[in-house]
Amino acid sequence: MLVLTRKRGEQILIGDDIVITILDAKGDSVRVGIDAPRGVVIHRLEVMKAVTEANIEAARAATNSDAGALAGLLSSMPRKAESDAPQG
């Protein structure tokens, strides 16, 4: 990890086309501006973690719900008697 000290108004260049500008710093909070091409995806890590965790929980709930629905469907289907089974 590269650690830099910057003052308000100073910038950091990442690659050839991403510029991070320090806009303000008050106490423990720093405001930064990011200028990047439209194709570059920028996310806050804490938001991405929350979304990922929510998606995992939703997938688990859907899987459990689907399994329960499947079990319900299977249990409601009429079963063939052994005498009805084809013999061969």
Phi, psi of 71 (to 5 degrees): -60, -40
Give residue 50's pLDDT. Answer: 92
Residue carrying the six token digits 């990922």: 52
Task: List the chain domain ranges.
Answer: 9-38, 43-73
Residue 70 CA from chain centroid, whole number: 28
Q: How much is the pLDDT for 36? A: 97
pLDDT of residue 56: 87
pTM of this structure: 0.60
Helix (H/G/I), strand (E/B), else coil: 37:
coil
User: What does the pLDDT look like over 64-85, one tens digit per residue?
Assistant: 666 666 676 667 767 666 555 5
Given the DSSP bridges, would you call strands 18-26 and 11-14 parallel, antiparallel or unpaired?
antiparallel
pLDDT per residue as tens digits for the range 19-70: 999 999 999 999 999 999 999 999 999 999 999 988 888 887 777 666 666 6
pLDDT at 39: 95
Cβ neighbors of 41 (< 8 A, separation 6 or more) are none
